Structure formats: structure tokens, C-alpha cells
Structure 1
């Protein structure tokens, strides 16, 4: 199982996410880096985990406020090949970006603004369509056909799927899912309560050959081991890394053990 670090962006800072209560998110205080500036935090997270990807939530965009394409462009350039000193021929790094994409045109416009600010060497931007923001189910198919390899995030609160009523039933059906699906439990994010394995296992059991990624609740290496045993392809983690409760060896050990 891979550990995928998480960077939550709001008002030009990396912030600490707690239970999805975005109005009260504050700039991060991290044991990894003495700043809340996004680029140093991102590099520290990637270095601490040796991860192949970074999950980025542009919270301004998700909350229908100002999006942050300039910071995302800087991240894409900075993280083009973060492991090149260890793996000189490593593949381009991926940024999994949730920016509140409602449909395919909004995704395309947002990624075009980022691309316009990057040069030839940059990380691959992979769009994440969160069920809480999605207005059009065909966005996933169109993004797939255009070569973006989209990820669907099935967002939950109180173990209930957060989605527009007209989309909720279709989103619960595996036929609508792309090859990678995140099971996001907002109640568990930064809550120090452990991962919601019940919701994860319910979705994983329906997934077939898809890669199912958990999100929220990992506190320490025992939680990480439990998540790996559940069959997760990867798990999104932030607080335990910033607080030093997961060390580099814990993150890389989980990947090596599966």
C-alpha cells in the first residue's frame, strides 16, 4: 500500500484539515517544515514519504472562492522529478488535484490555466472529481477519453455519500467509477479517531479490479497496517506526518510490505 501525502491549500497557505470544517482551517504547524508556505511543505511531505504522488486540495476553489492556479503551477514545476536524485530515470510525478471540478469544461479551464504557467518539465496533473462538487457524471468519461486518467472521490460524512441528489444513486454504482476511486470520510480527517474502515470495506467489496484509495483517520503505523490489510491501494495522509506520529520508515515500510 502506498502512502500519498496531502496538501490542503487555502488563502496562500498550507492548512490543517480537521473534520472537513473548512471555515476553521488554520495555517499548518508541522514538524517537517518551519513554515506554512505550500512549496516547502509539499517538498517536505514528498521527501518524508518517497511517494509517487501528492494529493492537493485547492480549498478556495472547492468552496467556490478564488482558485489558486499560480501556486499549483509552481508546485507542478517544483515536483516534476522529486526523486531524481535517487531514481535518475523516475517517471514524472503526479499531483492529484481536487479543485471542486463540477464538470469537464470547468476542469479543462482550470488545468489550462495551470499549464499556461508551467514550462516543459512539470508534474502530471491528475484531476480528482469529488462527489460533493460534481454536477455532471459524464465529466469522468470525457476526462478519461481526453487522457487525463481522472480519479473519483466518493466523499462521505456520517457514513453518507455527499452528492447531488440526481447523481447519488449513479455514483453508488461501480459502473460509473473510473479505475481509481478515493473513499473520503471527512469526519475522520484530522480527527485522531482512526480510519473509517467500514465505509472503505463496503466500497472496496464492490470495486472489482479498480484501485481503491482510503482517506482520513490514519494516526500511527498500526492504523497503516490495518488499512493495508483492508486491501487499499493507497491511503491519503496528512496530520500524522506533520505531527511526527508516522516516520519515513513507517510510510515506506507499508509500501514495501504489500
Structure 2
């Protein structure tokens, strides 16, 4: 079986990467459930006191030996507002040496350039935020593409979902209906993306409940998984990293 990269460092490393997730809204970390963003409330987690981004990020890193965190700035994604640079800075300061993948609803090159100038991580380009494939094409290897779906609905331009030649080396298959639902990953949908990806690395997002799901994803050829609920609920813990290495 494919080995697990317990560091979660992702691109360019062998093994399966586990990447902890923070969803930000209003300067707090919120608990994501089924992609119903309007109902997300500040998180209550045994991993941290309160919902401050820096505290929750540090708690996630205590729960799993990661070297990469995924941050979704929901205000920017939903409202088109500027990225929450202040929160990203606090996360970076609290987690030295940890890389960030950041989805802040990027839809224009100027916004990506401004983000990159901050030196706070690698941009994630969500298909749901795009009108066409131009930004993904322009950024190439410099960004991560998130292919966003909700149930059977593909979000964003059909070309981004249909044409793998547009995809960069790192692709997230974001199944929003599975997020926080406790139903497990959508393995058939993930397999379909993986089958078209060629040599690209595909990361699953949504539905991981514990070590068994990680094994199933790894055996299906996925490069890694974005995980939040399982870490907060304790069904995926640091000791599992040693067992999966």
C-alpha cells in the first residue's frame, strides 16, 4: 500500500499527505458542515481554547504532525472581500515552518499578485470563483486548483472540470456536500477525477472520518486528503500517524 506522508507537506514528496483545514469567517475559525456556509458557527474544539485562528492552527498541529495547512477564507469566497491577511499572519506566526495553501476566492490576477506579495502561502484557485479558465491557465504551476462540487453539481466553468490539460500539478477534488457530514469520502467521484488526472496529484476534500478512509483514498491513488472534523472529533489522532507511516 502507498505509504503515508504524515507531515502533510504535499507536493513533491512521496506518500499520502494529510493536510489539516481551517475555515475562517469573521476573524474566527468556524465548523464546516455540508458546505452550508451561512450556518457555520465559531468552532468549539478540544484542540484549542476558543476559535482564534492561531490557537486552532496550533491545536491542529498538535493533533497531527503536519507541515502544511489549508485555509479557506469564507468571507472572501462568499462576498468577494479582500483576504483576511491579519488572520493569515497570526496563523503563520503561530506555526513557523508550516506552509499554507489559501483559498480566498481568487478570481483575478491582481488579487493573486497582492496575496503573493504578502508571502503567506500558495494560492488555491477554486473553480466556484471563476468565470473562465484564464486565471488557472495564467498561474500554471504557481497555484493549486480546487475542483468544487456540491452533490452532483459541478461549480464553476465546465472547462475546468472537463479538460485536464488545464490542471496544474496539484488538484483538490472538493466535494462540499461531504464536508463535516460524517458520511465518508465520495470515492466514485474522487476516482473519476483521479482517472483523468494523469501524473497530477489529486487531494480529496470532504468526508474523511478516520484512518480507514485515509487507507481507502491512498489505495485509490489519491495523493492526500484535507481533514478537519476527524481531527476535532478525535477520530483521527496523532498516534494514527505513526501507525500509517
Fold match by TM threshold 0.5:
yes
Measure the CA separation in 1 of the matches of 2:175 and 2:55.
27
* TM-score normalized by the length of structure 1: 0.84
Structure 1 segments of 4+ aligned residues over 4 angstroms from their partners: none
Q: Which residue of 217, 237, 252 maps to 2:227?
A: 237
Q: Secondary structure at the match of 1:219?
A: coil
The answer (yes or no) to whether the contact 1:27–1:36 under 8 Å persists in 2 is yes
Paired residues, number: 229
* Alpha-carbon distance in 2 for matches of 1:102, 1:251: 36
Partner residue in 2 for 1:134 = 130
Give the RMSD, CA atoms, in angstroms: 1.6
Q: Find the counterpart in structure 2 of residue 104 from structure 1.
A: 109
Residues 209 and 143 from structure 1, CA distance in 2 versus in 1: closer, same or farther, beyond 3 angstroms? same
Q: Find the counterpart in structure 2 of residue 156 from structure 1.
A: 149
**Equivalents in 2 of 1:43, 1:250: separation in Å?**
18
Stretches of structure 2 that go unaligned for 5 or more consecutive residues are: 1-15
Q: Structure 1's 27 and 251: CA in aligned 2 closer, same or farther, altered over 3 A? A: farther
Aligned to 2:7: none
TM-score normalised by structure 2 residue count = 0.88
Correspondence list, 1:1-258, <5 A: 1-64=16-79, 66=81, 67-81=83-97, 93-112=98-117, 114-115=118-119, 125-144=121-140, 149-163=142-156, 167-254=157-244, 256=245
Q: CA deviation at 1:80?
A: 2.8
**CA deviation map 1:97-136 (0-9, x unaligned):** 0000012222222343x44xxxxxxxx5010000000234
Query: How big is the shift at 1:65?
Result: 5.4
